[in-house]
Structure 1
């Protein structure tokens, strides 16, 4: 909304404009001055973090004789921060940056994290308190700090405060001993964290880098330290009592503040703040310009050089270029976890995540929060090449297998029907003797899954849990209890049914070479299974026979081939004299030439 003729060009690339908000009383018009300052010199200013808000009914800001249109929400913030007797030096993005100059805008965005980091304080404007909730929320914060945080040593006697969703058996005693917030108090805190500031793309960086920061909600002021203590207290109450009353919108929104403060206080390595980790957390946050989903994290990630701020570049190219740079620099394909083909924007390539959407691919979701134990391409590194159109990426790997049938019937657990489909046998027709010999009865006591030499019971136990601890999926699926169960066809059916329940619509798949796996719900027969170099898991691709290129469908789990076994097969096929008992070379694939041929996949 700012006027172009208000802004003088910067003399150097290390300049910023600061806004001097002139003093005034409650009903006075807003006015102030802009001045250009050398950012490398010592400066004193406060930075404002806010949500732009609706552009209807804008307010005039008199800036050096120019009437600059600003939103009602920003006008309310400036009135709240204005002093009656002295000027206040602020940095406000929409006022201090010439938004009409794309070159300046790109350069200032590049400096944004430094601007907020250098500010003496970040003033976080949450908005007007139109429903008079702020006083109740403030009281709830104080109550949680006083009654829970200050007594955390007492609470620790009942529950491990650093544990993961541990529910105390003494919930009633905890509720009786500690004065817990009322329902209305919790709801007021819930409304606090429902404010749009907590869901805005840029606020993450503005909050994270600030040396000092304070929340303002209407006339009320909240110390960030108290809000963090209140949120942790609420999390402890949820863990210690198991009461869903405490598992509200608050913990979903506020968990970001808790984790951000914790990661700054207890650094646990750079991986926590790499491009993929942070943008996955921030996907779906609100912004007018989709490019800001990428640009807003540049200043806080450890590999910020991957992001080139350029507002003349279309958002689709920004997403594609950032994805390709991450793959090239990291040498892995972890970022494919965020690709959701069923939800993809039609104008995005299949291999580029649509970070505008909150949804993430549910396949292998249970494994993402853990240290994933999969290494299907061993120590190999991804070597990528991005096309000049930003629409295609070239990756190397092995064209390993293809899907022939899938169990996509929610009520179907008998795997025989898959093979009937392969042989074009009608589902309701009785098999003759020869056909029975050709089909594998997965639930037979004589069945052996050749890749792992497992019987049906052990094969489906591991397949149902993606070869992870069964307790992560269902307390009923623990190894001790399963060992006592009869190895019956009915029990194996129950394992398959449990697997389908926890895979959230994913499907069991049967491949051309009689391998079993779990694939995305939108996969279909004819899709190929590729072992791409740098990938933790096999990738499902859809071939386009018209041009020989592929569409990315998503990640998969292929039982018995998640730890380099497919590469051992490939080497044996290439060199029949190779001794498959020697697998030490799998640890050195990133250092030299691969001992097997690969295919170049062009993914569009």
Structure 2
């Protein structure tokens, strides 16, 4: 009786499903039906067997100083057949420490929508449903688009994929911490990293065309091109129809996609054995993108994309320099350069992360600093950001032969994380800060004196140095002058110094200070005078400039806008400097053992301690000129 009843029930269900399939044969599947007819996916069905403490941990609970990392991960495979019209996949767990490493590809993408246009059109992102192990699993729209494109391409039916949003249980803090700690292993062991820039738009093909035309040129020819010179015969002869407003806008928007600003993509791309770049159904060559990015970083300024045809672009999202930054990080990794973690943090200050912790965690795998000697750097999202940033600053000081990290603590204007010591950089601030010269190795303000540093009483830093000068007048920031084209205060400061010190050429010192005395070829000091170029760019000249003069002015503008978060100032002894915009009248300029650039300090009232304001360029004192006959003393930074 039970068998008959059960068969009748199954028969009725089969008839209903058959009728439903007939009705849906020529229509889009009913998503509501699909989501409600399947159970919700549960990570408990595919455990990772993670061990969070050693067998010798205290009986009362796990020892937080003992870290035992396993390398078990989940892998995803797209299946060739859909279930009721839904994209279908299978997920399983594997051990990366096993004798034979499983073959898989890893996806690098952004969780959020990928373009400004998409964000404006859809403020509230909706999740999509896929079928995973015969259960329903919601995924964000951008990932859904990626999986759908890979399904369409068909090459992953017999290959496993690793994708963080699916392969990590994001609601399990312990699992997430552990998986983040082995992220570098996951991407370096993948056979290929698939970079998903997002769905294609109407301009994506034009961006591809311009990249192809530019990358076909020799370097000498490429660097004669003026971006956005649409009517320039020389441009047209080299680029043909690709030298159009639409093509340049398409290129700007392609590099403006969110993937180019995401912190986690750095190690995901750099550790890749092989890379495939997808934007919808368009495929891009990474090496060509890097070459074009390098060209744009040297031939464009922060003002390049301000023409009227680009008014609808959020210029904060224009990240055309980022591919060449990533290439520089990769070179550091390949050559095993010193202080990779600090240089990466500096290069990637403008990169975004959903959590402030990830502005550090996303780079640790590159520097191989996941050591048992530094358990404080093991990913722990329950730890405060203040402690993490302080710990990583201490770690950098410990492994460094210099104090370069201090030059990137930029003062009150760039501190959003409460409670940080003044000498600790706030990596959550997404601004291009400092002199914008990675490493500052072209400067040597403290000469060959050995580095001196001691951390006392928790977070106080003891240094050795001497007070050089006092800031007595400050001008506008470079960003303000670039925006308003009004530099009257600067010119007054320059003329004031010329009257006080008539034997010194302050016109020369003025334009050199604004460029940190470095030209695009990284030559220090700048050999070819650019005084007239500044006047032409700022429209201060009383004559009609030649075409050569205009070209020099454009080159000056590109160098000037490379570092905008700086303020021009003068000192009591008649020096010109350009340092962090946080500086104020009365701040002190110090030469400190181990720092390649002078540091701006602010004395704490009624205390024998100082606050660090930031690093600075001080004209005439960048190569050890101030060291003779000086008496050094210990000072404490808080």
Displacement of 1:317 in angstroms is 1.7
Within 5 Å, give how 1:215-294 maps onto structure 2: 215-218=277-280, 220-225=281-286, 228-229=287-288, 232=291, 253-258=319-324, 260-261=326-327, 264=330, 269-271=335-337, 274-294=340-360
Q: Does 1:141 align with 2:197?
A: no
Please say if residues 331 and 382 of structure 1, whose CA atoms lie closer than 8 Å, have aligned partners that are also in contact.
no
Displacement of 1:457 in angstroms is 1.9
Displacement of 1:530 in angstroms is 3.0
Within 5 Å, give how 1:472-511 maps onto structure 2: 474-476=530-532, 506-511=567-572
Residue 426 of structure 2 is matched in structure 1 by: 354
Question: Over residues 402-432 of structure 1, what are the superposed CA-to-partner deviations in whole Å (9 max), with x where a residue is unaligned?
Answer: 62622548537667999xxxxxxxxxxxxxx
Residue 22 of structure 1 is matched in structure 2 by: 79
Residue 504 of structure 2 is matched in structure 1 by: 457
CA distance, structure 2, for counterparts of residue 234 and residue 164 of structure 1: 14
Root-mean-square deviation (Å): 4.5
Q: Does 1:200 align with 2:262?
A: yes
Question: Over residues 112-155 of structure 1, what are the superposed CA-to-partner deviations in whole Å (9 max), with x where a residue is unaligned?
Answer: 122112112222222233x4444x24xx525653x5544x3xx5
Change (3 A) 1:122 1:90: same
Residue 333 of structure 1 is matched in structure 2 by: 403
Residue 186 of structure 1 is matched in structure 2 by: 248
SS at match of 1:271: coil
Please say if residues 471 and 477 of structure 1, whose CA atoms lie closer than 8 Å, have aligned partners that are also in contact.
no
Change (3 A) 1:253 1:525: closer
Change (3 A) 1:210 1:521: closer
SS at match of 2:74: strand
CA distance, structure 2, for counterparts of residue 43 and residue 557 of structure 1: 52
Residue 551 of structure 1 is matched in structure 2 by: 611
CA distance, structure 2, for counterparts of residue 143 and residue 295 of structure 1: 35
Question: Over residues 524-566 of structure 1, what are the superposed CA-to-partner deviations in whole Å (9 max), with x where a residue is unaligned?
Answer: 3443333332111222222222454322112234555444455
**1:214 pairs with 263, 276, 280, which one?**
276
Q: Does 1:76 align with 2:148?
A: no
Displacement of 1:346 in angstroms is 5.3
Please say if residues 324 and 386 of structure 1, whose CA atoms lie closer than 8 Å, have aligned partners that are also in contact.
no
Change (3 A) 1:223 1:3: same
SS at match of 1:253: coil
SS at match of 1:179: helix
Displacement of 1:108 in angstroms is 1.4
TM-score, length-scaled by structure 1: 0.70
Within 5 Å, give how 1:311-390 maps onto structure 2: 311-341=381-411, 342-345=413-416, 347=418, 348-361=420-433, 364-365=435-436, 371-376=441-446, 378-385=448-455, 388=458
Residue 35 of structure 1 is matched in structure 2 by: 92
Please say if residues 336 and 554 of structure 1, whose CA atoms lie closer than 8 Å, have aligned partners that are also in contact.
yes
Q: Where do 5+ consecutive residues of structure 2 fail to align? A: 1-39, 52-69, 114-123, 477-487, 518-524, 535-556
Provide the aligned length of Structure 1 versus Structure 2.
Answer: 506
Residue 400 of structure 1 is matched in structure 2 by: 467
Residue 95 of structure 1 is matched in structure 2 by: 166
User: More displaced, 293-302 or 521-530?
Assistant: 521-530
CA distance, structure 2, for counterparts of residue 359 and residue 184 of structure 1: 29
Displacement of 1:456 in angstroms is 3.0
Q: Does 1:443 align with 2:499?
A: yes
CA distance, structure 1, for counterparts of residue 247 and residue 508 of structure 2: 46
Displacement of 1:282 in angstroms is 1.3
CA distance, structure 1, for counterparts of residue 225 and residue 463 of structure 2: 39
CA distance, structure 2, for counterparts of residue 470 and residue 503 of structure 1: 19
Q: Where do 5+ consecutive residues of structure 1 fail to align? A: 419-440, 448-454, 479-497, 572-595
CA distance, structure 1, for counterparts of residue 296 and residue 605 of structure 2: 57
CA distance, structure 1, for counterparts of residue 343 and residue 606 of structure 2: 36
User: More displaced, 344-353 or 177-186?
Assistant: 177-186
Displacement of 1:601 in angstroms is 0.7
Displacement of 1:52 in angstroms is 1.1
TM-score, length-scaled by structure 2: 0.67
CA distance, structure 2, for counterparts of residue 101 and residue 224 of structure 1: 37
Residue 423 of structure 1 is matched in structure 2 by: none
SS at match of 2:450: coil
Question: Over residues 239-274 of structure 1, what are the superposed CA-to-partner deviations in whole Å (9 max), with x where a residue is unaligned?
Answer: 899996899979963443345457757988433871
Within 5 Å, give how 1:3-22 maps onto structure 2: 3=42, 5-10=44-49, 13-22=70-79
